[in-house]
Chain A
């Protein structure tokens, strides 16, 4: 028993304490959080824009076509752009997108974290857009009609009435998307970014002992997801209270 325990201590010391290798994990964790955080924000912004364009086109195409003019042409154009974006981004693996960004599109820059933020943000935006569009569609049609009947424009009605209600509907799904994103960033090591997974792997490569660093990485991911889930649950409860 004590021998087993002493082995464990030695392993721990070898993998984390010697040469301050625990700081690698922290550096990696920092990058993982940085990439995830800004990619989430980018994803939400892109998602709202794309979802609004697509649902504006879907709801208003009949009446706009009838009225004709520049507005219909503009919205049709943006709708096509959005569809291409969704098809390409959702049709290719994120690792491939990351490598294309890093080695081709942004080959002039070696700021890996920034490139990762852009790539994961653009990638997440496609999924978030479809989540939001589903949410917009499931807000009762009467809400939009009531807004329009009062003289509010379509955009005003969306901003003040439909989108706030949409957020509440999509929150659980959105939370799920962010959990996926957090773990997806673990492929950042492919282009040499030192994220949490890469840090663990570097330690493993140095010490030739796999158990400690990989389990540590797994536990850290797990704790972050548990914490995040807990926060979202709290937020959901708060939102639900607001209309009771």
Chain B
């Protein structure tokens, strides 16, 4: 297992009608990696991360997760999604449930945990992100930053092997970005494998151990944050960085 990557894609393509959004993506992500995916809007970053757990069905190509080809129509995708936590730009907390129920639903329904056990895990995680007192609240009573921290906790409660973040701070007010990034940084320090689509370059530089620059449906450049941000090799990466830094 150790020499196999946790996730790898082979010639991954995704079309929306005539529009080719992903063009033959090949990547491998090892256990413990923290990968930041950056690039201009419309470059296919979000589509890429959403295909990794098949929220978008790939048009062609393969995705291997823990040695299993999850694009194979015969596998039960729910079994594998369990192990891939996902955090969305719009939080997507279940509006009809309290924070606690949001967190315990999947452990109880999918992993068949007892309520008590699921709640213990939930309380532990809530304490970690400093939101223990919010357990009985509904999502509409929380701020954006709180919602996103709860969304992270909800994904973590399933004890995933990898966390996928789809622009986790893009819908937040600026003063709330920090609290969410702190939680993600803590996760990175705990050794969680993560793929993060982000516009926060400072954060990518600090937390990621690999940066992927994506443009027009392809991985244009890959490297350590240090080399990528200080000396990008491709013209496209240079012009992108000059616009945003």
9 new A-B pairs (CB below 8 Å) besides A140-B92, A146-B94? A68-B73, A69-B73, A142-B92, A143-B94, A150-B155, A151-B81, A152-B78, A161-B94, A161-B96
Contact A152 B92, beta carbon cutoff 8 Å: no
B: residues with CB less than 8 A from A are 53, 55, 57, 73, 78-79, 81-82, 84-86, 88, 90, 92-97, 105-106, 109-110, 138-141, 151, 154-155, 158
Contact B109 A156, beta carbon cutoff 8 Å: yes
- Which residue of chain A has its CB nearest to the CB of B154? A150
Given A143-B95, A145-B92, A151-B78, also A66-B55 (CB < 8 A): no
User: Which residues of A are found within 8 Å of B90, using beta-carbon distances?
Assistant: 140, 142
- The distance in angstroms between the C-alpha atoms of A147 and B109, with both chains bound, is 11
Interface flag for A149 (CB, 8 Å) = yes
Interfacial residues of chain A within 91-113, with CB under 8 A of chain B in the complex: none
User: Which residues of B are found within 8 Å of A151, using beta-carbon distances?
Assistant: 78-79, 81-82, 106, 110, 158
Residue from B73, B81, B95 in contact with A150 in the complex, judged by beta carbons closer than 8 Å: B81
Residue from B96, B138, B155 in contact with A164 in the complex, judged by beta carbons closer than 8 Å: B96
User: Shortest distance in angstroms between B84's beta carbon and chain A's nearest beta carbon?
Assistant: 7
Contact A152 B106, beta carbon cutoff 8 Å: yes
User: Which residues of B are found within 8 Å of A145, using beta-carbon distances?
Assistant: 55, 88, 92
User: Which residues of A are found within 8 Å of B105, using beta-carbon distances?
Assistant: 150, 152, 160
- The distance in angstroms between the C-alpha atoms of A160 and B105, with both chains bound, is 9
Interface flag for A63 (CB, 8 Å) = yes
Given A150-B158, A242-B138, A243-B138, also A143-B92 (CB < 8 A): yes
Q: Please give the number of chain A residues whose Cβ is less than 8 angstroms from any Cβ of chain B in the complex.
A: 27
A: residues with CB less than 8 A from B are 62-63, 66-69, 140, 142-143, 145-153, 156, 160-161, 164-165, 168, 242-244
User: Which residues of B are found within 8 Å of A242, using beta-carbon distances?
Assistant: 138
Most chain-B CB neighbours within 10 Å: which of A62, A140, A145? A145
User: Which residues of A are found within 8 Å of B139, using beta-carbon distances?
Assistant: 243
Contact A148 B95, beta carbon cutoff 8 Å: no
Residue from A62, A153, A243 in contact with B95 in the complex, judged by beta carbons closer than 8 Å: A243
Residue from B93, B96, B106, B138 in contact with A244 in the complex, judged by beta carbons closer than 8 Å: B138
6 A-B pairs closest in CB distance: A151-B82, A146-B92, A150-B106, A142-B92, A149-B86, A67-B73
Residue from A66, A149, A153 in contact with B73 in the complex, judged by beta carbons closer than 8 Å: A66
Contact A165 B95, beta carbon cutoff 8 Å: yes
Contact B57 A149, beta carbon cutoff 8 Å: no
User: Which residues of A are found within 8 Å of B110, using beta-carbon distances?
Assistant: 150-152, 156
